[in-house]
Structure 1
Amino acid sequence: MTMDALLPVFVALPLIVSAITALNPVKPLNDALALLIPAINLAGGVWLYAYTASHGTIGHVIGLYQGGVGISFAGDQFSAVMLVTTMLIALTANWFAIAAGETEARYYTPLTLVLVTGVSGAVLTADLFNFFVMIEVMLLPSYGLIAMTGSRFRLVAARMFVLVNLAASTLLVMGVGYIYAVTGAVNLAALKGAAAGNGPVTVAAGIVVIAIAAKAGVFPVHTWLPRSYPSTSAAVMGLFSGLHTKVAVYMLFRLWVMLFDMDPRWNTLIVVVMVISMLIGGFAGLAEATIRRVLAYQMVNGMPFILVMLAFTSDDPRRALAAGLIYTLHHMVTVGALVLNTGAIEETYGTGTLSKLSGLARRDPLTSAVFATGALSIVGFPPFSGVFGKVAVVFAAATPGDWRSWVVIAAIIVASFGALLSMMRVWKEVFWGRPMQHYPAALNVRARLLAPSAMLMLISVGMFLASGPLWGASTAAVDALLDTDSYTSAVLGDDPIGVPDIDNLQGGRS
């Protein structure tokens, strides 16, 4: 068996084990599998990164059909980095769920493993229609998770989550269908450069991008995210923050390079949308009443920091995309840590409402320290991954003679100040102030609840200390993303069929 044949295993393994856990009534075994399967896929992602670094992009088609016809998977260093980080967040969130007792719910573990299945498939698929399928595989268990855990408002949040994602999924499959109608293909490698100047394909691909942007929580379709995510449990919100939105980032990066060929005519629109999204995410959290709602807007704030880099790929695509990837990794780790840390507070004190908590800095110094480090990282202070991420983004955006550069840098500064104010407000309300008298003095956050978020913050510090190797790994991943010829060759082979002649499509190139 060749190494490329292992790619479908990343999808098959969690799916098979999810069925086992659904039938198995033994909770300790299910808990062990909830940790083991993401850990195996994480280790597999590390292997994939190392293997593709030596051998280049690998591809596999189910049934060994031709790449333009069969169900295709592809793995390169870029997809490997995203696989490793998403699995890290899934592993940590499941760890917290076990510590908090959420896996007492009969189907919590199988639902999370189906979600892991969808994520693994989404970052390894080489086919737009199968990306839609994997998104649906992610969403179906998410509907159950958001409804079965969290606050008493979870059903209202679940309804919003379902409606928005059903609408976005409908738009996504329509866009994929239009692409197929125009080109006769949905394989990413077969569509190389198809949307770069070809009017009908650009419109169809634009529909796909809008649908994915809605799932990513980007302005102006962002309000559903801070309304639905905080109504779930902290473990589920941690899963969603690191998986749903970041899979959207992965595919937007892939589409921008593969389909749009980094067409500079869209740069101004990208900058305008992302700057507005930055400012909304930076300051909207000041009006929220719970810790996790404030953090939800930091998720909204982080997405444009990543996606605005697409507008700066004209001069130095390697630097811009690597900066976006670095910020993606930082955001996944830091927001995950903050959400799980908040979950530990909620599990202990029964609330995450700002007005009901006070004086935790004295009562729970370790918990407070983890939250403070996460807040400093999200704002961009050393010695945490946030400073490296924001410096990388600013330097990548600093393009001489381009007015958009100054607009973006100014927006980054202002939005970061808004994030600082939001974090300071949470710190003032929850961690400073008088000790709470209505809780027993001996009540503290337990170490097993604190450990998952503490581990993620240690990783954030490690990312800062190892910024040189991390930048090297990120640029290598971006080099693989930009090497569209190798991706095409790995997916389609030497004698592909079913590949459209892009230059002669209806509408031609403009």
Structure 2
Amino acid sequence: MAVDAILPVFVALPLIVSAVTALSPWKWLNDALAVIIPAINLLMGVWLYGYTRDNGTISHVIGLYQGGVGISFVADAFSAVMIVTTMIVALMSNWFAIVVGETQSRYYAPLSLVLVTGVSGALLTADLFNFFVMIEVMLLPSYGLIAMTGTRHRLLSARMFVLVNLAASTMLVLGVGYLYAVTGAVNLAALQGVAAGGGPATVAAGIVVIAIAAKAGVFPVYTWLPRTYPSTSAAVMGLFSGLHTKVAVYMLFRIWVVLFDMDPRWNTLLIVVMVISMIIGGYAGLAESTMRRVLAYQMVNGMPFILIMLAFTQDDARYALAAGLLYTLHHMITIAALVLNSGAIEETYGTGTMAKLSGIARRDPWTSAVFVAGAFSIVGFPPFSGLFGKVTVVMAAATAGDWRSWVAITAIIVASFGALLSMMRMWQRVFWGRPMQNYPEALNVRVGFMLPSAVLMVMSLCMFIFGGEMWEITTTAVDDLLNVDAYTSAVLGDDPVGVPTPGDTFGGEN
């Protein structure tokens, strides 16, 4: 069997097992499969990274059709790293869901596994239309996960989530259709450089980018995220924090390199939008009253730290993209840890409202220590992954040596100060002060509740300790991302069909 035949397994395995869990009457089996399947995908992702690092990009066309005709899956070190990290978050979130009793609903396991199916497919697909399909595969179980408890508040949140994502998905499929109309292709490899010139191809690609950015929660379409994510359970919010927005980041990086050829004409627009998004995310959380709404704004705050790196690819593309990827990995691990930590507190004390909590540092020192570690990491303090994440982003921004550097670095510092204030406010209200008198002294966060977030923060610590190795991993991944010729050759083969010529793009470049 050819090595590339493993790629469809990333999608088929969780999809098939989701059907098994939907029919299975045994909770113990469903719980086991909810963690085993992400763990298997995680291990396959680790193997895939090692293989692509040593052997280059691999591709598999379903049904063994000719390149450019069939449904293609493609993997390089960049997609492998993203698969590994998303599966870590999925594994920890499902573990947390099991220990807090979230899986009492028999449909949690199948819905979460369908979500894993969509994530794996989105990270491996080689064309934009199938990316849209995989996004929809992610969204359908997400609607169910949000509304699973049936409470009025969650149903209202699900409605907002549905409306925003329906609009974004409609824009995405219209953009993909328009791109096909003007180029005759939707395969990423076949669309190499079509948006780098101008004309209809650039407009079509721009529509696709706007739709994906809306799903990422970037300004100006960001308010839906802090209104919907905190209304779900902590386990579901943990899943969403590391999967939905980061899949969008992955595709934005891929589109920027392959379709736009890192066109510097868009640098000013990128910087303006990302700076505004940074400031809003950094300070809006100061007005929130619950722990997870504060953390939702830290998700909004983190996205522009990643995407602003696209504006510095004309100076040192390898360094800028590697910095963005390193920050992505850090943010996925840290935000998931903070969300699950706050979820453990909510499950124990019955509320996440900061005004109703106080003195947890004295009652629960270990839970408080995990929060402090996460807060240090999200702000960028040692000894956690956030330090290297922010330092590399700042250094990448500094390479330009012009107004872009000054604006970006200033915004990073100001937004990081806002994140610090938000974390300090949460610490002062929830963890500091006199212990709560309206709860029994013996009531503490269970070790099982705390372990998933603690494991994630240990990973963040290891990312700091092995910072050199992490940088090597991210630069290797970015080297594959930038090697567009190898990507194109792997996907289309030696005799591709359906590849547009420069004349087909109506003003774009091929």
Is the TM value for this pair above 0.5?
yes
> What is the SS of the residue equivalent to 1:197?
coil
Q: Counterparts of 1:394-413 in structure 2 under 5 Å?
A: 394-413=394-413
* 2:288 aligned residue: 288
* 1:212 aligned residue: 212
Q: Deviations over 1:110-133 (max 9, x none)?
A: 000000000000000001000000
> What is the SS of the residue equivalent to 1:74?
strand
* 1:256 aligned residue: 256
> What is the SS of the residue equivalent to 2:147?
helix
* 2:182 aligned residue: 182
Structure 1 position 199, deviation (Å): 1.4
* 2:469 aligned residue: 469
**2:320 matches 1:320:** yes
* 1:121 aligned residue: 121
Q: Counterparts of 1:16-35 in structure 2 under 5 Å?
A: 16-35=16-35
Structure 1 position 151, deviation (Å): 6.4
Contact (CA 8 Å) 1:354, 1:426: kept in 2 or not? Answer: yes
**2:64 matches 1:64:** yes
Structure 1 position 67, deviation (Å): 1.6
> What is the SS of the residue equivalent to 1:358?
coil
Q: Deviations over 1:54-102 (max 9, x none)?
A: 1110001111111211101000000000000000000000000000000
**2:165 matches 1:165:** yes
* 1:271 aligned residue: 271
**2:457 matches 1:444:** no
> What is the SS of the residue equivalent to 1:261?
coil
Q: Counterparts of 1:72-91 in structure 2 under 5 Å?
A: 72-91=72-91
Structure 1 position 315, deviation (Å): 1.3
* 2:418 aligned residue: 418
Distance 1:170 1:96 in 2: 33
Distance 2:35 2:155 in 1: 28
Q: Deviations over 1:116-157 (max 9, x none)?
A: 000000000001000000000000000000001496511111
Contact (CA 8 Å) 2:219, 2:274: kept in 1 or not? Answer: yes
> What is the SS of the residue equivalent to 2:180?
helix
Question: What is the RMSD of the two structures over their aligned residues, measured on CA atoms?
Answer: 1.0
Distance 2:356 2:443 in 1: 15
* 2:429 aligned residue: 429
Contact (CA 8 Å) 1:150, 1:234: kept in 2 or not? Answer: no
Amino acid at match of 1:53: R
Distance 2:462 2:472 in 1: 15
* 1:11 aligned residue: 11
**2:242 matches 1:225:** no
Distance 2:241 2:156 in 1: 19
Q: Deviations over 1:346-381 (max 9, x none)?
A: 000000001000000000000000001100110000
Q: Deviations over 1:444-486 (max 9, x none)?
A: 0000000000000000000000000000010000000000001
Amino acid at match of 1:13: L
Change (3 A) 1:459 1:48: same
Q: Counterparts of 1:348-427 in structure 2 under 5 Å?
A: 348-427=348-427
Distance 1:401 1:501 in 2: 37
Structure 1 position 53, deviation (Å): 1.1
Distance 1:15 1:505 in 2: 37
Contact (CA 8 Å) 1:67, 1:493: kept in 2 or not? Answer: yes
Q: Deviations over 1:191-246 (max 9, x none)?
A: 01111013111100000000000000000000000000000000000000000000
Amino acid at match of 1:449: F
Change (3 A) 1:472 1:498: same
Distance 2:359 2:317 in 1: 47
Contact (CA 8 Å) 2:195, 2:509: kept in 1 or not? Answer: no
* 2:335 aligned residue: 335
> What is the SS of the residue equivalent to 1:311?
helix
Change (3 A) 1:85 1:151: farther
Contact (CA 8 Å) 2:164, 2:224: kept in 1 or not? Answer: yes
**2:6 matches 1:2:** no
Contact (CA 8 Å) 2:315, 2:400: kept in 1 or not? Answer: no
TM-score by length of 1: 0.99
> What is the SS of the residue equivalent to 1:486?
helix
Distance 2:391 2:508 in 1: 41
Change (3 A) 1:508 1:305: closer
* 2:491 aligned residue: 491
Contact (CA 8 Å) 2:309, 2:396: kept in 1 or not? Answer: yes
Q: Deviations over 1:5-37 (max 9, x none)?
A: 110110000000000000001000110000000
Q: Deviations over 1:159-217 (max 9, x none)?
A: 00000000000000000000000001000000011110131111000000000000000
Amino acid at match of 1:186: V
* 2:239 aligned residue: 239
* 1:143 aligned residue: 143
Distance 1:489 1:283 in 2: 46
Distance 1:196 1:409 in 2: 27
Count of residue correspondences: 510
> What is the SS of the residue equivalent to 1:435?
coil
Amino acid at match of 2:85: T
Please say which of residues 189-198 and 216-225 is displaced more in the overlay: 189-198
Q: Deviations over 1:255-285 (max 9, x none)?
A: 0001000000000100000000000000000
Change (3 A) 1:484 1:243: same
Distance 1:456 1:468 in 2: 19
Contact (CA 8 Å) 1:119, 1:135: kept in 2 or not? Answer: yes
**Same amino acid, percent of matched pairs:** 78
Contact (CA 8 Å) 2:359, 2:436: kept in 1 or not? Answer: yes
Q: Counterparts of 1:191-210 in structure 2 under 5 Å?
A: 191-210=191-210
Contact (CA 8 Å) 2:197, 2:507: kept in 1 or not? Answer: no
Change (3 A) 1:87 1:509: closer
Distance 1:368 1:480 in 2: 40
**2:505 matches 1:505:** yes
Amino acid at match of 1:424: M
Contact (CA 8 Å) 1:151, 1:231: kept in 2 or not? Answer: no
Amino acid at match of 1:301: N
* 1:309 aligned residue: 309
Q: Counterparts of 1:90-101 in structure 2 under 5 Å?
A: 90-101=90-101
> What is the SS of the residue equivalent to 2:352?
coil
Give 5+ residue unaligned stretches, structure 1: none
Contact (CA 8 Å) 2:194, 2:508: kept in 1 or not? Answer: no
Distance 1:463 1:507 in 2: 45
Structure 1 position 400, deviation (Å): 4.5
Give 5+ residue unaligned stretches, structure 2: none
